[in-house]
Amino acid sequence: MIAANIVNEKDGIPIIFPDCKRGFGIRVVHEQNPKAPSKNLSMTVLYIAPGGILENHHHENEEIYYILEGNGTGHFGLGKPVNVEKGMFFHLPTNAEHGIENTGAEMMKILISTSPTLPLFPEWKTNKE
């Protein structure tokens, strides 16, 4: 029998998303995190500061966004922007266009699940590392 990996956000790996300005992610479950390595799905917490944006993009992976905190505007291939707020879920099928902007005054916090995992992204390192 295989044991579960039990982790919390502070056990995650801070990463930089290439399409994100004024934001960063914490990879909690992903092959990039040795404390909860997964090859088939991932769980990441995305933080976007006020005025920040995750540019419109698409990829082969299926994805779910859950807005934990904050509000803003999302672009989900619907032809017009969608108001985004705490408590909303977004299911993004394969190659669905998506992007999100924090238009609020507080940090936006989004829980993101992907299957299969997205590729490795650069880790966020401090000047001391």
- pLDDT confidence band for 125 (50 / 70 / 90): low
pLDDT at 65 over 60: yes
- pLDDT confidence band for 124 (50 / 70 / 90): low
How far apart CA 33 and CA 43 sit, in angstroms, is 11
Q: What is the pLDDT of residue 118?
A: 73
Are the CB atoms for 99 and 46 separated by under 8 Å? no
- pLDDT confidence band for 117 (50 / 70 / 90): confident
Structure tokens at 110: 């989004």
Are the CB atoms for 19 and 55 separated by under 8 Å? yes
Q: What is the pLDDT of residue 11?
A: 95
Number of H helices and E strands in the chain, helices first, is: 0, 9
- Could you tell me what percent of the chain has a pLDDT over 90? 78
Q: Which residue has the higher pLDDT, 88 or 122?
A: 88
